Each structure stands twice: as structure tokens, then as C-alpha cells.
Amino acid sequence: MSTNILNVKDLVIHYETDEEVVEAVNNISFEIKKGEVLGLVGETGAGKTTTALGIMGLLPDKVGHVIQGSVELEGENLFDKSAREMRKVRGKKISMIFQDPMTALNPVKPVGDQIAEVILLHDRCSKAEALQRAQKMLAMVGIVPERYKDYPHQFSGGMKQRIVIAIALACEPELLIADEPTTALDVTIQAQILDMMRSLQQKQGTSMILITHDLGVVAEMCDHCAVMYAGELVEYGTVEEVFDHPKHPYTKALYQSIPSLDKDVKRLRVVPGMVTDPSKLPCCCSFADRCTEKCEQCESGDPRIVNVNEEHWVKCFNYRAEKEEK
């Protein structure tokens, strides 16, 4: 048994409606070690949130289907668990933070009660004890514990996100999935929240999946980085590897299309075309249409994973070709 907390294997998730089938997640595999922070990067519709919901077992009823694959948490396949067992896993073992703190909190309940509720649900303890722990959690995320009686509307956006984090961490989960936790916040507040999340993560030793579209956030927060495009992981590696030696054309293009603060660029390099529509995926490489480095192979088959080194792989024909030449 390895030290992996989470093992995602060959996961495929489709959304099926009467009109169309959206191939949201296509055959992705990755693993997270204990205490590791994985950054999941990609644009809108790349399937980042779907992956998270799939792991949590929270895919929308009737529409979202896991077609194949497994998600193993500490060696147990979550897809084999009943709805009741899953409820016990959620909150206790895996927690999730959503993008919008406004919708995640109950507006008519004091925030202290909301934190205590989660604790009572999963841990055996008295109500008073739970409230006490709730206050401790508030202090931990940088809110005066005396405010536990306040209602969500009495807090600002950044404060609300802190409370959501407090709820998520209340039962000291093994794995925290944060879905764009700071996208709705201003940069100075984002800096506060990221700082806090990092120190909490180190203190509690929680593993984390950080979903974001912001490469800067990944560089600051993560150990490993997985780049997603059209429901596939196209590149995976340590943050240093992926940022310093990006291999996949999409990853490279992503870097070049961000205006840089330290360099002066007259014109931005652009990824041509639009984000591939996940309901009309080609059977070849999904990025082939927009790729500037494509070859004939790219339009005939789906590329396989190629290892660059032990902790860095890429899903691209081009790279293999290059390597064989050498």
C-alpha cells in the first residue's frame, strides 16, 4: 500500500440529456499523496468541477453518469459505497469548498451553529463541545470567535469564504477539494485567503486539490500541477517541471497568452479558435484543431501518455516524436 490518499483511475464522466451527450471527463487518472497539494488547471468547460463532483459523488442526478473508472480513497472505491456511506465520507474524509461563498452558507442560521452542525454530524460529542470547537475553528480562520452568533449577511465576501473554509476543515478531513476558492474575491483578499489556506494545510497535513484557472495561484500554492483540456489531463508533473519545462502545446500556449507583469510584450500570443465543445469531441487529439505544432498523427488518433521523467508526463504525439529522434 502506498501513501496515496486518493487514486483516480480511468475516470470517464458524461452528462446525458435528450439533446446531447457532453463528454465532460475523459479517461483521467491521477493520484494524490498524503499532504500533497495538486493544482487542477484549465479553462471553462475543461471538466475540472465535474472531476471534483465525481470524486465527491455529487454529480447531478439523472444527468451526470460515471461511465467507467474508480475513485479510491485510502484504498476503498468510493463508487462502491451506498448513498448513506457516502454521506459519512463527505465532510469527514473529503470536504469541498465552492466558488461562491454566498450560496454555500445558510442565511438564516448563525455561522457558529453551521460549523457545529458539521461537527455534530460526524463526531460524537455534546452540543456545547461542538460549539466550542466551532469557535476554535473560527479563530483558526482569522475571525474573532465571539462572532459565532452572527449571521452570514453580517460578514463580507472574504469573511464568508473563511467561514466556508472553517466548515470544510471542521472535521479535519483527509482531503480538501477547493473549487476556485478565490475567484470571486478581490486580489488583496485572495492573498489573505491563500495565505491562510496554505498555513492551515501545512498545519493539519491535509491533502488538497485546488481547482483554478489562475496559473499564478498554482505556482504559489501547489506541489503538483495537472493541466486539463476538454475533459482530459494533457500534462501532469511537479509545479517546477510543468512551469519551467512545459511540454504540451496547450500548456505552452496558456503561458504565452497571459500578459506578464515582469516582461514587456507588445502583442500577446494567441491560442487560435475556441475552446473545444465537449459535446462534439473528435476521436483524435482534442486540441489538434487549435494546435500550432500538430502533425498528421494528431488528426488520426488519440495520443497516449508519454513520460518525460518520473514525475512529469504529457499526452501529445509531438513529444514522443521528438524524444525518439534523440
Partner 1 sequence: MDHLIEVKNLKKYFSTPRGELHAVDNVTLNIERGKTIGIVGESGCGKSTLGKTLMRLHDATSGEVLYNGTDIAGMPIKEFKKNYRSNIQMIFQDPYASLDPRMNVLQLVEEPIRVNHKEFSKTEVTKKAQEMMELVGLAARLESSYPHELDGGRRQRIGIARALSLDPDFIVCDEPVSALDVSIQAQILNLLQDLQEERGLTFMFITHDMSVVKHISDDIAVMYLGQVIEKCPAKEIFKNTIHPYSQALLSAIPIPNVHISKQRMVLKGELTSPIDPKKCCRFAERCPYAEDKCRAEEPVLRELKPGHAAACHYAEKFIPQGTP
Partner 2 sequence: MAKMHTPAMEKIEKRNAKRKKPVKSTPAYESWKRFKRNPTALLGLAVVCILILIAIFAPLIAPYGYQTQDYSAMMQAPSSAHFFGTDQFGRDIFSRVIYGARYSLIIALFCTIAAFFSGGLLGIIAGYCGGIVDTLIMRVMDIFQSIPMIMMAMCIVAVLGNGIPQLVAAIMFASMPTMARNNRAAILRVRGSDYIESSEAIGVNQVQMIIKHMIPNAVGVMIIYFVGFLAVSIMMMSSMSYIGVGLAAPTPEWGLILNDGKAYLTSAPYMMLFPAMMIMITCFAFNLMGDGLRDAFDPRLK
Residues in contact with partner 1 by CB under 8 A are 43-44, 156, 158-159, 186-192, 194-195, 213-220, 239-240, 243-244, 253-255, 257-262, 264-265, 267-271, 274-275
* C-alpha distances in Å from residue 44, one per residue of 134, 265, 279: 35, 25, 14
Q: Establish if 27 lies at the interface with partner 2 (CB under 8 A).
A: yes
190 binds, among partner 1, partner 2, none (CB under 5 to 8 A by kind): partner 1
Q: Which helix (H) or strand (E) holds 51?
A: helix 48-56
The span of 62-70, 101-109, 152-160, 287-295 binding partner 2 (CB under 8 A) equals: 62-70
Q: Which residue from 239, 245, 232 is spatially nearest to 30, judged by alpha carbons?
A: 232
219 binds, among partner 2, partner 1, none (CB under 5 to 8 A by kind): partner 1
Q: Which residue from 148, 150, 164, 149 is spatially nearest to 101, judged by alpha carbons?
A: 164
Of these, 1, 19, 267, 326, which contacts partner 2 (CB under 8 A)? 19
To the nearest whole angstrom, how small is the minimum distance from the Cβ of residue 219 to partner 1? Answer: 5
As a whole number of angstroms, the distance between CA 224 and CA 242 comes to: 9
**130 SS3 class:** helix
261 binds, among partner 1, partner 2, none (CB under 5 to 8 A by kind): partner 1
**Spatial contact of 171 and 122, defined as CB atoms under 8 Å apart:** yes
At residue 8, φ and ψ (nearest 5 deg) are -105, 125
7 binds, among partner 2, partner 1, none (CB under 5 to 8 A by kind): none
Q: Which helix (H) or strand (E) holds 232?
A: strand 232-238
At residue 146, φ and ψ (nearest 5 deg) are -65, -15
Of these, 110, 142, 145, 282, which contacts partner 2 (CB under 8 A)? 282
Q: How many residues does the chain have?
A: 326
As a whole number of angstroms, the distance between CA 117 and CA 111 comes to: 10
Q: Which residue from 169, 170, 189 is spatially nearest to 178, judged by alpha carbons?
A: 169
159 binds, among partner 2, partner 1, none (CB under 5 to 8 A by kind): partner 1
Q: Which residue from 48, 9, 56 is spatially nearest to 28, judged by alpha carbons?
A: 9
To the nearest whole angstrom, how small is the minimum distance from the Cβ of residue 67 to partner 2? Answer: 6
To the nearest whole angstrom, how small is the minimum distance from the Cβ of residue 63 to partner 1? Answer: 19
Local structure of residue 21 (DSSP, 8 states): E
Q: Establish if 61 lies at the interface with partner 2 (CB under 8 A).
A: no
21 binds, among partner 2, partner 1, none (CB under 5 to 8 A by kind): partner 2
The span of 16-24, 35-43, 171-179, 235-243 binding partner 2 (CB under 8 A) equals: 16-24
The span of 19-27, 37-45, 133-141, 233-241 binding partner 2 (CB under 8 A) equals: 19-27
List residues near partner 2 by CB under 8 A: 12, 14, 16, 18-21, 23, 26-27, 65, 67-68, 231-232, 280-283, 286, 302
